């Protein structure tokens, strides 16, 4: 249902549209028009929609966030970024694509010595130079009608990243997409397309951070295509401003024997939603891991959907949440096994730890099975720290606060230890330890 906020965005769109990339591409204009039509009719998602029943985004509708239109290499937003601060977020030993307020920054990116045939470039540049490459992919892994945020992104995106890894290429370093927001009330809307061809091996890292403590809206949609016998590992670290609003959607299509692994770490934002949807081909594999840490009044929503479309697919999923104060965590995991997807093997697990009587965890695992020869299961737990374990540590001369921090850290660290890139592991570990401060613990485990 359209709202006053929807009308305000729609009224501003004619002024914005001429500044958006791809104005000369009829097929892209058709995609934008479809997104605009959907958003005009429905607005942002509502709790009346089943897959948004636990998340109310009305706070976003109360304010009109504005995109940066006149972004150039000398833009003052770049001058707001302290070099030492930037160095702390750009990962060592990686190619780095930097997006500032939804726009590619060549000055801040590090893209030298890319292997022959590998393309890593801004979406705006790709739409100008390689439109025929993008047309078979952009808008194909997810349709604008998925929900209001995808529709909004399809119509409003200002830039993004295009990555193509050709057949048989094994990248020696990961590619990092570093999203930075530098000012209040800004709208950072990006669209990424990642294509990894047959028999490739690629690691991708998405990072969302802010050089401001103010409120803003970040919407990022990534469409991923994993070729036959290819392997893609994707890490996402969302550590935005405490007042920020974030929607991030990753939509994946896996070919036969493709392997896709996703590690999702959600620490920032006042209200943040992350969608991970993947379609599995024959004998393809999918692994989804997640950790969300909520404090104060944070609302962190994680929505996953695994579509087993062909036989012999394997999927594994484990998400963990730690919630304190009045924070609320949401996990909605859905596994769909199609009629033709015989011999599917799927397991899903969600575990939540509540550190406060006011914290809340809403979890909804779903299995939809239309085949008769499958092995599927799911498990859910919501609870508090084991008092016996706390007492045991106290009996070893550890004070209660430290004991609680140690047990909470051990619960969360299982997910951190899955990170295979040292610089990223250390960065995520720093965020986790910041939530459970205790000098002795930090010295022992850092």
Query: For residue range 269-280, what is the model confidence (pLDDT) as tens digits?
Result: 999 999 999 999
Q: What integer pLDDT is reported at residue 439 of this predicted model? A: 57
Share of the chain above pLDDT 90, in %: 82
Q: What integer pLDDT is reported at residue 68 of this predicted model? A: 86
Mean pLDDT of 70-88: 73
Residue 14 has pLDDT above 70, yes or no: yes
DSSP bridge pairs for 383: 353
Kindly state the DSSP code that residue 45 receives in the 8-state scheme.
-
| Backbone phi and psi for residue 47, each to the nearest 5 degrees, phi listed first | -60, -10
| Backbone phi and psi for residue 221, each to the nearest 5 degrees, phi listed first | -115, 130
Better-predicted residue by pLDDT, 388 or 417: 417
Mean pLDDT of 34-39: 96
Q: What integer pLDDT is reported at residue 77 of this predicted model? A: 65
Task: Report, in this order, helix, strand and coil percent for the chain, each rounded to 5.
Answer: 25, 35, 35
**How far apart are the C-alpha atoms of 160 and 244, rounded to whole Å?**
20
Q: What integer pLDDT is reported at residue 440 of this predicted model? A: 54
Better-predicted residue by pLDDT, 309 or 392: 309
Least confident of 30-39, 54-63, 391-400: 391-400
Residue 434: which H helix or E strand, with range? helix 422-435
Q: What pLDDT band is residue 193 in, cutting at 50, 70 and 90?
A: very high
Q: What pLDDT band is residue 416 in, cutting at 50, 70 and 90?
A: very high
Q: What integer pLDDT is reported at residue 76 of this predicted model? A: 60
Q: What integer pLDDT is reported at residue 308 of this predicted model? A: 98
**How far apart are the C-alpha atoms of 153 and 144, rounded to whole Å?**
8
Mean pLDDT of 46-60: 94
Q: What pLDDT band is residue 70 in, cutting at 50, 70 and 90?
A: low
**How far apart are the C-alpha atoms of 11 and 14, rounded to whole Å?**
7
Mean pLDDT of 288-301: 97
DSSP bridge pairs for 377: 347
Residue 82 has pLDDT above 50, yes or no: yes
Q: Do 206 and 224 touch, CB atoms closer than 8 A?
A: no
Q: What is the pTM of this model?
A: 0.94
Q: What pLDDT band is residue 437 in, cutting at 50, 70 and 90?
A: low
Mean pLDDT of 163-178: 97
Q: What integer pLDDT is reported at residue 232 of this predicted model? A: 98
Residue 446 has pLDDT above 50, yes or no: no
Q: What integer pLDDT is reported at residue 75 of this predicted model? A: 61
Q: In the chain, count H helices and then E strands.
A: 12, 19
Two tokens, residue 134 = 């993008």
Q: What integer pLDDT is reported at residue 301 of this predicted model? A: 98
Residue 441 has pLDDT above 90, yes or no: no
Better-predicted residue by pLDDT, 82 or 373: 373
Two tokens, residue 104 = 């590619």
Q: Do 242 and 181 touch, CB atoms closer than 8 A?
A: no
pLDDT tens digits, one per residue of 94-149? 999 999 999 999 999 999 999 999 999 999 999 999 999 999 999 999 999 999 99
Residue 385, Cβ density class (10 Å: 0-12 exposed, 13-18 middle, ≥19 buried):
middle
Mean pLDDT of all residues in the chain? 92
pLDDT tens digits, one per residue of 196-242? 999 999 999 999 999 999 999 999 999 999 999 999 999 999 999 99
Residue 304 has pLDDT above 50, yes or no: yes
């Amino acid at each position: 249902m359209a709202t006053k906020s929807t009308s305000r965005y729609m009224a501003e769109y004619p002024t914005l549209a001429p500044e958006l990339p791809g104005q000369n591409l009829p097929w892209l204009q058709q995609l934008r028009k479809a997104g605009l039509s959907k958003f005009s009719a429905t607005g942002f998602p509502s709790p009346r929609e089943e897959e948004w029943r636990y998340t109310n985004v009305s706070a976003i509708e109360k304010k009109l966030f504005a995109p940066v239109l006149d972004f150039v290499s000398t833009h003052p937003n770049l001058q707001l970024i302290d070099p030492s601060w930037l160095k702390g977020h750009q990962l060592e030993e990686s190619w780095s694509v930097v997006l500032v307020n939804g726009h590619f920054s060549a000055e801040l990116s590090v893209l030298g010595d890319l292997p022959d045939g590998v393309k890593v470039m801004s979406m705006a540049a790709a739409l100008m130079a390689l439109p025929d490459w993008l047309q078979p992919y952009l808008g194909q892994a997810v349709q604008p009608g998925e929900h209001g945020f995808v529709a909004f992104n399809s119509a409003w995106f200002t830039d993004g990243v295009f990555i193509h890894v050709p057949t048989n290429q094994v990248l020696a370093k990961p590619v990092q997409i570093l999203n930075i927001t530098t000012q209040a009330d800004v709208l950072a809307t990006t669209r990424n397309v990642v294509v990894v061809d047959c028999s490739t091996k690629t690691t991708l890292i998405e990072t969302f951070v802010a050089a401001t403590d103010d409120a803003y809206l970040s919407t990022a949609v990534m469409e991923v295509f994993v070729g036959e016998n290819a392997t893609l590992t994707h890490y996402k670290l969302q550590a935005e401003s405490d007042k920020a609003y974030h929607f991030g959607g990753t939509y994946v299509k896996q070919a036969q024997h493709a392997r896709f692994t996703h590690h999702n770490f959600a620490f920032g934002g006042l209200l943040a939603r992350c969608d991970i949807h993947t379609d599995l081909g024959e004998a393809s594999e999918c692994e989804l891991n997640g950790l969300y840490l909520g404090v104060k009044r944070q609302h962190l929503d994680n929505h996953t959907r695994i579509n087993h479309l062909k036989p012999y697919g394997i999927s594994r999923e484990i998400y963990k949440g730690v919630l304190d104060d009045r924070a609320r965590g949401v996990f909605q995991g859905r596994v769909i096994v199609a009629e033709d997807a015989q011999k599917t093997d799927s397991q899903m697990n969600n575990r939540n730890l509540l550190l406060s009587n006011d914290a809340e965890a809403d979890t909804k695992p779903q299995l939809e099975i239309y085949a008769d020869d499958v092995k599927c299961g799911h498990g859910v737990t919501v609870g508090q720290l084991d008092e016996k374990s706390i007492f045991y540590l106290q009996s070893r001369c550890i004070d209660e606060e430290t004991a609680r921090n140690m047990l909470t850290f051990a619960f969360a660290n299982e997910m951190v230890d899955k990170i295979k890139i040292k610089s990223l592991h250390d960065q995520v570990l720093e965020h986790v330890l910041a939530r459970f401060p205790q000098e002795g613990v930090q010295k022992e485990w850092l």
